[in-house]
Chains A and B, each alone.
Chain A
Amino acid sequence: MPSVVELVQSLVNGIGIGLIYGLIAIGFCVIYNASGIVNFAQGVFVMLGGMFAHTILTHYGLPIWLSAVLATILVAGVGVLVQIFVINPMWRRNAPLFAIILATLAVQLLIEQVVILTLGDQPRTYPEFTSGGPLKIGPIAVGYQLFWVLGCGAVMVFSLQQFFNRTRMGRALRACAQNREAAALLGVPVERMLIVAFALSSGLGAAAGILITPTQYTAYMVGGPFGINGFIAAIIGGFGSPPAALIGGIFLGVIQSEAIVFFGAGFKNIISLTLLLVVLLLFPNGLFGGLTKRA
């Protein structure tokens, strides 16, 4: 039986990784709510965020904050390119949603191969944003990077809420999510809104990747696991609002972390996938019911 200290420590660790899952989940929600598309390339944006930040940091010697900003912009650009060259042409030809979703999976695999060829297959990491630490609270150790994840996560969720509720473009995105035809009939350029959704979503994924890389590592193949966990978090949260997705992520992160303490690392995925099935059985529309809106 694990000690209280072990349980609390794993809780802290779980919240940290859960926030990352939450940010990825928000990325899933932004695109899904604007288009009905589940973007399985979301995980690859996480990987690209870490890879680009590392490359800019090590090759050009820029400060970490600037590397992070540039990497986020670059990945958002990749997201826009994916939308323009893959999603939009299929969208215009009225391709079935499952075909578009399959295309996003192909994009994930394609980008992974391009990364192997251009940046290599070796894992890489960079120092935490604030050196020193961890902060000791009694027997519990809290890495400074967790505070960065917490702070950036809170700022991003708050900013997204403000964006969706208070800005013209944010309201237009929500309108597209609810009724694309009605939005277009009022002058909303729906295809442009989808580009905005991809830019936002890929930028969020990049931010998650940039924040988590110092505590773990990044490599061409990390996108898959991050994408799957972000997707599970989005399902648990119900594909609803950003806070719901974030809570879904924290919930998943904590459960995984506690599963490692109780049963060992091998059970992490067994427990999280079982949790997904339990949630889907008891709450078919997610914990916060967001999936009903598109049913």
Chain B
Amino acid sequence: MTVAADAAHLIAVRDLAARYGHIEALRPTNLHVAPGEFVTILGPNGAGKTTLLRAMTRLIASTGQVVFRGRDVTSLKTHQLADLGIIMVQEGRGLFGDMSVRENLKIGAYKLAGSQVDHDRQLEKVFSLFPRLKERISQTASSMSGGEQQMLAVGRALMADPKLLILDEPSLGLAPRVATEILSTLGALNKEGLGILLVEQKAPLALKLAQRVYILSSGSVRAELPTHEIKSHHDLALYYFS
């Protein structure tokens, strides 16, 4: 595959591989997300899902190629990928705990620089999706509940006006109702045209929202298929351990 061939995709990953010392955590992996597509990556613990996302966003060294909107971005640094619109919400949320909700959101808008209009527009959008953040605006991030913190993590990522939103297990540790609320919001954002790549353990929820799914196991992609082809957990288990 060439960069030109990947130009139709929002993001395309070619033969991406990563190691932790001698351990091959991610074997050469191919993956793509089309513009406006919602893609989910499923897999058991230790499958390499987080490693894949960290390699894509250059948080760890890797080999292979990443093409974003037809441009080879393999050599770019993490913050430069963010400048292009690739924004990731980390597992564990990665909030700035000592900073207020307002400050966290302002950091989210870091790449918008001095554009107050853009900043205000993004802030209104975030508040309309998560009204609770407006109520907690002066509260420190660490003092909020788990669900509110996850809303802040997603809201902060949206402040950056992403073109591709990557999320690593956003429902981890949340009550089912809160997890459903947050994932439903992601579904609504996708309907507005935002490309989403989601790593999620709560397979039923993720499969409801996504159009396509990659199944990762032992550091490599075992299957790529439309979500409607997965009928049951039994199907998933077969792919996990095949």
Contact = CB atoms under 8 A, between A and B. Distances in A.
A168 B107 CA distance: 8
A186 B90 contact: no
Kindly state the interface size class of chain B when it binds its partner. 20 to 34
Interface in A181-230: 181-190
B97 interface: yes
Contacts of B95: 179, 182
Interface in B71-117: 77-79, 82-83, 87-88, 90, 94-99, 103, 106-108, 110-111, 113
B79 A189 contact: yes
B163 interface: no
Contacts of A179: 94-96
B87 A175 contact: no
Interface string B129-140: 000000000000
Interface residues of A, number: 18
A96 to B, nearest CB: 15
A185 B96 contact: no
A188 B107 contact: yes
B79 A181 contact: no
Interface in A144-181: 168, 171-172, 174-175, 178-179, 181
Interface in B109-166: 110-111, 113, 156-157, 160
A168 B108 CA distance: 11
A25 B224 CA distance: 56
Nearest to A293: B98
A186 B108 contact: yes
13 contacts: A168-B106, A168-B110, A181-B90, A184-B59, A185-B90, A186-B87, A186-B108, A186-B110, A186-B160, A187-B83, A187-B110, A189-B77, A189-B79
Interface of A: 168, 171-172, 174-175, 178-179, 181-190, 293
